[in-house]
Amino acid sequence: MATVDGTGGGGGRARRPRILYLFAGLAVLWLLLGMFGGQYQAKLAEVQKNDNAAFLPGSAESTRVADESEKFRSVQTLPGFIVYQRESGLTAADKAKIAADAEAFRAVPGVDPDQSADPQFSTDGTAANVSVPLVGKKGDVEVTGDELVDVENAVVDIAKKDVPDGLTVHSAGPGGLLVAFIEAFEGIDGVLLLAAGLVVIVILLVVYRSPVLWFFPLFSSVLALGVSVLIIYPLAKHDVLTLNGQSQGILFVLVIGAGTDYALLLVSRYREELHTHASRVEAMITAWRGAAPAIAASAVTVVLGLLCLYLGELNSNKSLGPVTAIGIACTALVMLTFLPVFLVLCGRWVFWPRIPHFDQQADLASHGVWARFAGGLVRRPRMAWVSTAIVLLACAGAMTTLKVDGLSTTDSFTNDPDAILGQEIFDAHFSQGAGAPAVIIANVDRKDEVIAAAEKVPGVSTDPGAVCVQIDYAKVARAIATGSPQLRPGADGCLPASLQVSEVDGRIAVEATITHRYDTPEAYDTVKALRAALHPIAGADALVGGQSAINYDTQQASAHDRNLIVPIVLVVILIVLGVLLRALVAPLLLIATVVLSFAATLGVSALVFNHVFGFANADPGFPLFAFVFLVALGIDYNIFLMTRVREETLEHGTRSGIVRGLSVTGGVITSAGVVLAATFAVLGVLPLVFLAEVGFAVAFGVLMDTIVVRSILVPALSYDIGKKIWWPSKLAKSAD
């Protein structure tokens, strides 16, 4: 144990065994946990919840309606349709096929036959639809996303079997669109990890210029992901947290990207120390002591920033915080314990062909590209930071054009899944609000007043039977089976009271057909108008829910979370930076530069989304997601820079410390930024607009933070201010 590579000084021999045993034990632990946890990555899809209703807080009005609705119907369904079209007009063979399919759909397990209806035909005779309600919950048993996909696929298989030539068949409706979302996340563990891994390998090959070294950061990141999954899976399975495909996708790229960043910082410092230490154990100990504080501070900052999401109302935000925070914490621990042991045991050859030797030639602050860049930057620091700030402010000006009113379901995909094509046909030929009415729960003694008021609300259909007490489909099924004559609607267009749901605890359920598709701004306006009209009715205690209300409440909760969480994240990060740098001015400066970078990123994103990608809109939660990731991750690079600057300042003074710190960290931080940006850009492989938007914004923002903010704005501004950046610490009184 005297030396690992055959050499070494005696000063470190006494402490080596304890350190080696501790780190070796931790390394073995992470290796076992990571490999075991890797088996659960594919199982995460089993515990995902991707419907909006799963993410609303219990206080949301639509959530309260959903809870009360269960008292009136034991089976809760998700509306779905199969759409048929022949542009020249449906033939007799087409109609026979449609009628046969309608009967076959009722027999599919997972389809509620009682709520199924006869085929409907468009007025022009070119299209038809068959209602296929998917069972979402029966009693207390909820249907999983995978089960919904299986049922929908079974229905579609029937519909597309033996189709007459020229007849097109597609799925449509909320059920089909939800299944399209779920299918978009299928294989996320394979496709996303493979894409991210390939991107990281290519970049690390360029950065390290070694055919071997790339393996160590990537393997360590994969282990960290396995450990994270091992923790997240049981928590999601037992409803401690809610996991959706979006959270899982971001977890994967965040762990791979951040893990590679931490590894780059440690490996770079280790390579530096190998030039000044004969023993690679001593080199790693010194490198670890230098890099660990920055890595730990970075991880703590990101974890605390992500945990702030838990303060929000929306469960998707509340779950994303803990899920990704677990990922970052595991990544930092693996990179600080497993990776050092892995590198030391494998020897210096891992750097081949550029093997660092004990030659005392590692002072990067005095030579190299970044040393020349830093020297040029500080010749005219004020011009550098002022001109950079002006460019960033100009980019930020375009932020006002960012559209965050929410994406309709049909605008949420970057491709054209079957359900989107079917929905376009459905919208063109049938009532867009069909199948997804507003649900009103009110006191039964005010039922007539509630119905009368709802009928007058703009956006509610004026057709007979548009506003009625909910139908009890079990009663209808029994009436059909017995040949009851009570199936004919009354003068108001509603079925007789004997076929409607019964009151429960003095409450009754009413449905109001909306004229617009459930996921459009017009439908949301109708929900608001209904609430405005019904809430004031004395003694009614009316609540408005349904699919449109769920979407609207989700958007409102998302906007609330954005306004609440953003300032909290800033305060948390400011406190962490103050403790880390033991100063006040420097943290304020770093926060201000990152916020400016974030605003510029939003501006550029708005221009790209509107004029390059042609996205219809952005989700209200997009700015919050972009902010948390950009500020938390963007501050990382400033932490990496300023901790090294402070270290150099202690020996060389503030302005020399800034030059030396930028010279030494420039290459590794830029490489880390490129890796993280590339991994987030990989989110674009999934066919969802929201993830494409988040991926672009974070990738662009990270590159801006790395190349512009950290390389020019922060060092130039710090150099111009001088030692006052360390106020009120003692360094503010030291040599400039």
Question: Is residue 138 helix, strand or coil?
Answer: strand
Question: What's the pTM value of the predicted model, to 2 decimals?
Answer: 0.82
Asked if residue 36 has pLDDT above 50, the reply is yes
| Structural contact between residues 736 and 653, judged by C-beta atoms closer than 8 angstroms | yes
What pLDDT band is residue 640 in, cutting at 50, 70 and 90? confident
**CB count in 10 Å sphere of residue 297:** 22
Q: Which residue has the higher pLDDT, 717 or 651?
A: 717
List, in order, residues 6 or more apart from 271 with CB less than 8 Å away.
Answer: 351, 356, 362
Asked if residue 51 has pLDDT above 70, the reply is no
Quote the pLDDT of residue 257.
Answer: 87
Q: What is the pLDDT of residues 529-540, one digit of tens each?
A: 999 999 999 999
The top-scoring range by mean pLDDT among 14-18, 524-528, 585-589 is 524-528
Domains annotated on the chain, with CATH: 1-59+187-347 (1.20.1640.10), 73-183 (3.30.70.1710), 374-415+558-736 (1.20.1640.10), 437-545 (3.30.70)
Q: What is the pLDDT of residues 374-393, one digit of tens each?
A: 889 999 999 999 999 999 99
Distances (CA, A) of 382 to 375, 658, 722: 14, 15, 12
CA distance 575 to 597: 20
Among 13-22, 97-106, 685-694, which stretch is predicted with the lowest mean pLDDT?
13-22
Nearest by Cα to 235 from 154, 300, 318: 318
pLDDT above 90 covers what percent of the chain?
A: 41
Q: Token digits for 145?
A: 């996303």
List, in order, residues 6 or more apart from 189 with CB less than 8 Å away.
Answer: 41, 42, 44, 45, 248, 252
Place of tokens 């762990």: 255
Q: What is the pLDDT of residues 263-292, one digit of tens each?
A: 988 998 898 889 888 888 889 989 998 889
Q: What is the pLDDT of residues 556-580, one digit of tens each?
A: 888 889 889 989 988 988 898 888 8
What pLDDT band is residue 11 in, cutting at 50, 70 and 90? very low
Find the helix or strand (DSSP H, E) in which 668 lies. Answer: helix 654-681
Q: What is the pLDDT of residues 117-148, one digit of tens each?
A: 889 999 999 999 999 999 888 777 777 777 88
- The number of residues making up the chain comes to 736
Among 81-90, 222-231, 473-482, which stretch is predicted with the lowest mean pLDDT?
473-482
CA distance 562 to 566: 6
Q: What is the pLDDT of residues 421-440, one digit of tens each?
A: 998 999 899 888 777 899 99
Distances (CA, A) of 321 to 298, 309, 331, 617, 694: 16, 5, 15, 24, 15
CA distance 673 to 454: 55
CA distance 359 to 350: 18
Q: What is the pLDDT of residues 176-208, one digit of tens each?
A: 887 888 777 765 666 777 888 888 888 888 888
Strands (DSSP E) contained in 35-167 are 75-78, 81-85, 120-121, 127-131, 134-138, 141-142
What pLDDT band is residue 509 in, cutting at 50, 70 and 90? very high
Quote the pLDDT of residue 245.
Answer: 77
Distances (CA, A) of 262 to 25, 305, 327, 337, 587: 21, 18, 13, 12, 21
Find the helix or strand (DSSP H, E) in which 207 lies. Answer: helix 188-208
Q: Compute the 3-state secondary structure of the chain and give helix, strand, coil in percent, each to the nearest 5.
A: 65, 10, 25
Quote the pLDDT of residue 16.
Answer: 58
Asked if residue 12 has pLDDT above 60, the reply is no
Q: Token digits for 557?
A: 């909760």
